[in-house]
A and B are shown apart, each in its own frame.
Chain A
């Protein structure tokens, strides 16, 4: 059962300097209970994808094309009030830098209850509080946190509280956008364990977004690699790690230092991601591609081609051979 199907999603932002195409022709599916990862460097469009899923993009962003089918319904084009019902009780999100997700003048418990009040208007305060305490148990927070203000908590505690907040309305799908980037490694490990535990216990689907490929490897069943707004490779995580086909994916995996073995000079990618303002068709990675051959023609159209079970690669017509 597919909980989420994204088909040909296109989103762009209007800026002073022009129209920025942040998401180009992105398609993927997430099954119930599955954990799906999206990896890519900063600015590749992964956060924009996350925002579009909840229609939370900034005022100057617009979905120009595509469908997002959540639990059978296309949520692109829904009215604001219909969207508000989907938000949080259908899909919830843990933001990057979630520490700032809290309103500094309102208590934590009240902020969580507020979400619950919106989606479960008939529950009493006691029922809500009991549920919050349950959630705190799952994420590992003390019950006293309910009456605390955000500035009284440490970074890790705030992060756990955000996860509890995301779970508060029993969503079917959670999006985690780099939830551990701002934390130290020890806490990062704890939080990742919490998320995995939560997912198993509650049977949720998870979309995990990160630029850290190691975390993706650990956390996800299926994944997609994004570059310059497009998905360049998509498939089961194990398969992609064993058999990367796109040059970008290969470069990404190669640049991860290995803890074992001899000390080698780090391989890195030269150059910068292309500007997303000028719509260029064709291979956007060609300028930086270290595997470029003479037969490579960057202006040819790209499409996703299946090369293994469920394993898709973004390839130009020349590369199909």
Chain B
């Protein structure tokens, strides 16, 4: 008996090695993996920087940090008509190092004088690689915090969702009849509800922090359409001859479920999980962008703040408030998606290069 278990373990280990080799041959998968690893690195980097004291928490904390940067500003008065000899467009005045006298409330400075003011949001500098936002918080630190949020949220909700849909889907395929009908109708019901408005409603009566949001997203995703897909996959396994022979040789239903059906459904479930992560990260970003969540800092929130404070239409002047966050969401979700494609090539031999 022991020997059998060892042999099984050996086979499994070899299979995993082979799968890894196959994955490495997938260009898409590897690109995705590098991207994900990069963001994972960012996730870990932040606490390390804090713990090792390289970063002073008072200054670099993404939520409550504060960094003062003073700079000289020239006081100007912005004309009513454009273009003038100094400025081309309205948005050019006041320039980066100037300040409009109309916005000075606490100073008696006159036009042409220079005053010293706090520069927020500050452009990238040596101290702050990606600059600071309008509250003096380091943007790079915020990106790393957002990365943590994205990973935790994504993986949590994906695992929950896929777990639920795999179990339900296999049960539906296996037991058929009334149970199957009920589960299918339940999926239909969830599918009928429009996602975004539903999330709106939920955010209205429940305070959504990271864990709550993960549970909500996971449950909705898990009970929805993926149950149907997993069920059809499980059905295909169920009609295969080896399941019948397992039944005939006296395997109990549970045994068949776990040792035969589930392993064959696993690749599909894994694929789903990876794609669910992309959905979860995207959903969270959208909801934060609309200001509905209670999460302290995330990428979506960064863009929300940028928009609410009116920096979006400033174009390239305050690019560090807009670009890093948006690009992070795009690339991390893209990375996970590419990993999913790579896994697809591992599990589906027809998709491979050779």
Find chain A residues with CB under 8 A from B25 CB.
Answer: 16
Is B354 an interface position by the 8 A CB rule? Answer: yes
Binary flags per residue of B330-354, CB closer than 8 Å to A gives 1, else 0: 0000000000000000000000001
Interface size class of A (residues with CB under 8 A): under 10
- Name the distance in Å between B83's Cβ and chain A's nearest Cβ: 60
Chain A positions within 8 Å of B354 at CB level? 15-16, 59-60
> In the assembly, what is the distance between CA of A16 and CA of B354, in Å?
9
| A160 → chain B closest CB, angstroms | 29
Question: In the complex, what residues of B have CB within 8 A of residue A15's CB?
Answer: 354
Task: Report the Cα distance A60→B354, complex, angstroms.
Answer: 8
CB distance from B334 to the nearest CB of A (A): 28
Docked complex Cα distance between A59 and B352 (Å): 13
Q: Report Cα–Cα, A297/B241, bound state, in Å.
A: 49
Complex Cα–Cα for A15 and B354 (A): 8
Chain B proximity of A288: nearest CB distance (Å): 29
Q: How far is the CA of A60 from the CA of B25 in the complex (A)?
A: 15
Per-residue contact bits, chain A 48-72, to B (CB 8 Å; 1 contact, 0 not): 0000000000011000000000000
**A16 contacts across to B, CB distance below 8 A:** 25, 354
Q: Cβ of A59: which chain B residues have Cβ within 8 Å of it? A: 354
Question: Cα distance A59–B354 when bound, in Å?
Answer: 8
The A-contacting residues of B in range 21-54, CB under 8 angstroms, are 25
Query: Cα distance A15–B25 when bound, in Å?
Result: 13
**Residue in chain B with minimal CB distance to A60:** B354
| Closest A residue, CB atoms, query B354 | A60
Give chain B interface residues in 297-344, CB to chain A under 8 Å. none
Instruction: For chain A, residues 2 to 19, give those with C-beta under 8 angstroms from any C-beta of chain B.
Output: 15-16
Residues of A94-118 contacting chain B, CB below 8 A? none
Docked pose: A288 CA to B254 CA in angstroms: 49
Min CB–CB distance B307 → chain A (angstroms): 49
**A16 vs B25: C-alpha distance when bound (angstroms):** 10
Quick one: CB contact mask for A292-311 with B, threshold 8 Å, 1 for yes? 00000000000000000000
In the complex, 5 of the A-B residue pairs with CB atoms within 8 angstroms, ordered by the A residue number, are: A15-B354, A16-B25, A16-B354, A59-B354, A60-B354
The 5 closest A-B pairs by CB, nearest first: A60-B354, A59-B354, A15-B354, A16-B354, A16-B25
